[in-house]
């Protein structure tokens, strides 16, 4: 067995043990234990250097102590997301204050294709579960894990809490087009860096942004519905579904104008609760 396979096997074994523990624990205990793990371990990991740099450049008006509190809050939220992963269906049914549910109903009942967008805020894994609980299965487009064994664990965890799952990539793009052509619905997290994306302002600096969601929406003329997930405390959430974004006038700049609107909306959400966003991405090219 190669060193890479050994590393993947060790990572998958540890993930499976932690997953099993979270699954056995009641929801509140799993969330709290995950948060504790995140706070205890996360700030000491090397990847936190990326988050600290992002925070310093993005929120320079906050002093270092305030930014460190945001970092610790981010790790608490991330740990809780992991702890809550086996309990998504229960959370969607029992722990979500849903605002704007009528917009989910509209897309469910209008016999048209549609796209839901969100970011890595609160427990972002809830978006598909909430839509499914409302009777609208989403085809979730996501980035596959580098470790194939952990990837299988992720896919298994999302089953029953979402519709179908589509991996990002050329095959995934073709599958997404097929979904829209058939009148289905996509769900995307649109706040990750894409190396071959397009530069769009985000917190005052250009960020490489995936253009596919804007291209899909303008090409098919389908509703593009933003959904924001907020952690209210512990394993309690508010999901706010907004009306479909107004489409820009047709033209060569329509897709870029729509991406600017999306990034502006995400920035507003993040500024309101920075400790609930995933600052670990290399979101900007510099």
Instruction: Using the predicted structure, report yes or no on whether residue 70 has a pLDDT greater than 70.
Output: yes
C-alpha distance from residue 30 to each of 83, 121, 156 (Å) = 5, 19, 18
Instruction: Using the predicted structure, report yes or no on whether residue 142 has a pLDDT greater than 90.
Output: no
Q: Is residue 118 part of a domain?
A: yes
Q: Is residue 285 part of a domain?
A: no
Closest CA to 82 of 20, 152, 149: 20
Q: Report the alpha-carbon distance of residue 38 to residue 26 in Å, rounded.
A: 18
Report the 10 Å Cβ neighbour count for 219.
12
Q: Is residue 91 part of a domain?
A: yes
- The confidence band for 93, taking pLDDT boundaries of 50, 70 and 90, is very high
Q: Is residue 283 part of a domain?
A: no
**Residue 36 tokens, joined:** 């504790």
State how many domains the chain has: 1
Q: Is residue 158 part of a domain?
A: yes
pLDDT, tens digit (0-9, with 9 covering 90-100), for 182-203? 999 999 999 988 777 899 999 9
Query: pLDDT higher for 260 or 149?
Result: 260
The predicted structure's pLDDT at residue 36:
98
Instruction: Using the predicted structure, report yes or no on whether residue 152 has a pLDDT greater than 70.
Output: yes
pTM of the model: 0.92
Q: Is residue 281 part of a domain?
A: no
For the segment 52-72, the average pLDDT, to the nearest whole number, is 96
pLDDT, tens digit (0-9, with 9 covering 90-100), for 218-241? 888 899 999 999 999 999 999 999
Instruction: Using the predicted structure, report yes or no on whether residue 145 has a pLDDT greater than 80.
Output: no
Averaged pLDDT score across all residues of the chain: 91
For the segment 158-162, the average pLDDT, to the nearest whole number, is 70
In terms of residue numbers, what domain contains 38?
Answer: 3-276
The predicted structure's pLDDT at residue 2:
80
The predicted structure's pLDDT at residue 197:
85
If phi > 0 it is left, if psi is from -120 to 50 it is alpha, else beta; for residue 144 that is beta
| Rounded (10°) angle between helices 64-84 and 3-24 | 80
Residues 6+ apart with CB under 8 A from 8: 147, 148, 149, 150
Q: Is residue 284 part of a domain?
A: no
Q: Is residue 209 part of a domain?
A: yes
Instruction: Using the predicted structure, report yes or no on whether residue 1 has a pLDDT greater than 70.
Output: no
The predicted structure's pLDDT at residue 160:
65
The predicted structure's pLDDT at residue 8:
65
């Amino acid at each position: 067995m190669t060193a890479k396979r050994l590393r993947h096997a060790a990572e998958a074994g540890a993930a499976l043990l932690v997953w099993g523990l979270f699954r056995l624990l009641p929801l509140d205990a799993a969330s709290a234990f995950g948060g504790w793990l995140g706070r205890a371990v996360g700030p000491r990991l090397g990847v936190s250097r990326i988050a600290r740099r992002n925070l310093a450049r993005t929120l320079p008006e906050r002093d270092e102590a305030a930014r460190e509190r945001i970092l610790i809050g981010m790790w608490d939220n991330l740990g809780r997301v992991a702890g809550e992963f086996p309990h998504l269906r229960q959370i969607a049914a029992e722990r979500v204050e849903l605002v704007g549910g009528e917009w989910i109903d509209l897309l469910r009942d209008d016999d048209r294709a549609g796209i839901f967008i969100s970011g890595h805020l609160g427990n972002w894994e809830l978006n598909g579960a909430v839509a499914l609980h409302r009777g609208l299965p989403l085809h979730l487009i996501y980035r596959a894990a580098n470790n194939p064994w952990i990837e299988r664990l992720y896919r298994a965890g999302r089953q029953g809490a979402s519709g179908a799952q589509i991996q990002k990539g050329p095959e995934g793009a073709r599958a997404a087009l097929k979904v829209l052509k058939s009148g289905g619905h996509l769900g995307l997290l649109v706040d990750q860096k894409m190396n071959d994306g397009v530069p769009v302002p985000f917190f005052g600096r250009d960020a490489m942004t995936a253009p596919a969601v804007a291209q899909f929406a303008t090409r098919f003329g389908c509703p593009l519905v933003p959904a924001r997930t907020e952690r209210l405390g512990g394993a309690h959430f508010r999901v706010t579904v907004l009306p479909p974004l107004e489409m820009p006038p047709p033209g060569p700049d329509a897709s870029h104008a729509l991406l600017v609107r999306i990034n502006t909306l995400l920035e507003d959400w993040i500024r309101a609760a920075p400790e609930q966003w995933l600052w670990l991405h290399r979101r900007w090219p510099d």
